[in-house]
Chains A and B, each alone.
Chain A
């Protein structure tokens, strides 16, 4: 079955860059997503990338996709304390009715 894996925890200093990594197994995925979850809240879609792209940049966020290795990363530039949250990567299809498959989430802690 499909599997999405992430490291559990990342700690960075305010102002540094954060890189959160994710690997997935389903090569038929056409969309790959990054979500942010703050305590007690729902998921916020941060960004997504089509599987035929290598990189996508959106303000402080940069997504890199290595489709050959099935590796996805999210880079947050100039990390702020407000970025402290759990970040989930997810993979899915653009057609059909299947929901997303989520990783276990990476808790990002930003030290002042």
Chain B
């Protein structure tokens, strides 16, 4: 099946630094990728929708300047947590959509990366 690679798996950083998380679709082109955040023992919360070649669409309450999303190619989206603080510590997961309008595939699926555990000291 389709694979989505997310890197790094975990990162520890000092408060005030920036962290970049990469999400790659390995064997399909993803015009749309999604970024989620998960707090311990809670469900996934959608942060933003990343569209290749255009600006990301952020969910209400998510700071655009804090969580920078770039989707420069059909196989790569990045999430940069700028000036990270301890409250940004969380598990971040990306997903990539295979199929959908314009892809020629009628069966649409979402595939998820393995997640990135961010700990800000």
Contacts and interface: CB of A to CB of B under 8 A. Distances in A.
Interface of A: 31, 33, 35, 40-45, 48, 88, 92, 94-95, 97-100, 102-105
Chain B: interface size category: 20 to 34
Nearest to A43: B112
Contacts, number: 50
B115 A45 contact: no
Given A40-B115, A94-B108, A99 B93 contact: no
What's the dominant secondary structure at chain A's contact region? loop
A41 B110 CA distance: 16
Most buried by A among B32, B36, B43, B114: B43
What's the dominant secondary structure at chain B's contact region? strand
A42 B49 contact: no
Contact of A45 (B32, B100, B110): B110
A97 B112 contact: no
B113 A42 contact: yes
Interface string B91-121: 1010100001100000011111111010000
Given A88-B43, A94-B108, A105-B43, A99 B114 contact: no
Interface of B: 4, 6, 32, 34, 36, 42-44, 46, 49, 51, 57, 91, 93, 95, 100-101, 108-115, 117
B23 to A, nearest CB: 10
Contacts of A103: 43
A48 B121 CA distance: 39
B91 to A, nearest CB: 8
Most buried by B among A31, A35, A48, A99: A99
Contacts of A41: 114-115
B117 A40 contact: yes
